[in-house]
A = this chain, B = another copy of it.
């Protein structure tokens, strides 16, 4: 599952030129959107200037926005701002992952009308970016700070991602409220996860005890996946499903308890990438039990 490996051991050279260009394009687009919104909506102009237009880079804008969103009376915004800014500067892979996440939201979610909308308003997006900082701190053995950030994400966004979890690029947490991702979970690239999804543990005291999701996976709202199970690349998990066993690549699992569409022996295999197509419901016809 190369997606995750890339994420936690970013190669700082390959593709950087391209990524920098991409980041610059997205940032220009965000500023252009914010400028237009500020003009058409004076009540929002102040907010857009302080969060976007007054900043010289996406890294600064995002650091500022997260610092102000996550601060509390005991964790000052200036401290958080500093922390984010230093991280984005020292590890460019974190910012390029953020750009990939912006693109994911913009192109997969029909309700996402602009990059700036995602940057400013998507709690799933903001939670993941904070998680990337927390994860970096976790790997550097700065656990108390990493756990403090996890706690702030959980308080502010109602999204609970353990700083040990490894999350790929181009990931969309749509709506995001209630998502729980455990310590040893792995999420591949181009995965889409709806709200209330749990990638939970088994209660074993240590070691790998959380799910591993391959690239391009789609997890429907309220699905619960527990234990050290593999959800193969391109697999699709129906809303409300409860999954405790491996799901093969490019298949679909639905129900509580979950079963494979088409049956265990000869499951139906699809060809689109569900994490990107976000097709939540077209498998209905294959699964007769969904018929009322």
Query: Which of A7-15, A97-105, A220-228 is near enough to bind chain B?
Result: A220-228
A196 at the interface (CB under 8 A from B): yes
Residue of B nearest to A107 (CB): B205
Known: A144-B117, A244-B284. A291 touches B277 (CB 8 A): no
A249 at the interface (CB under 8 A from B): no
A40 at the interface (CB under 8 A from B): yes
Pick the contact of A287: B145, B257, B279 (CB < 8 A).
B257
Pick the contact of A50: B79, B150, B151, B222 (CB < 8 A).
B79
Interface positions, chain A 235-251, Cβ under 8 Å from B, are 238-247
Pick the contact of A42: B54, B76, B238 (CB < 8 A).
B54
A41 at the interface (CB under 8 A from B): yes
| Cross-chain contact A289 with B257 (CB below 8 angstroms) | yes
Q: How far in angstroms is the closest Cβ of chain B from A70?
A: 11
Pick the contact of A245: B37, B204, B292 (CB < 8 A).
B292
Interface positions, chain A 249-292, Cβ under 8 Å from B, are 253-260, 264, 277-282, 284, 287, 289-292
A interface with B by C-beta (< 8 Å):
37-38, 40-51, 53-54, 60, 64, 67-69, 71-79, 81-83, 108, 110-111, 113, 117, 120-123, 142-145, 147-148, 150-151, 154-158, 160, 162, 175, 177-178, 180, 182-183, 194-196, 198, 200-206, 209, 220-222, 224, 226-227, 238-247, 253-260, 264, 277-282, 284, 287, 289-292
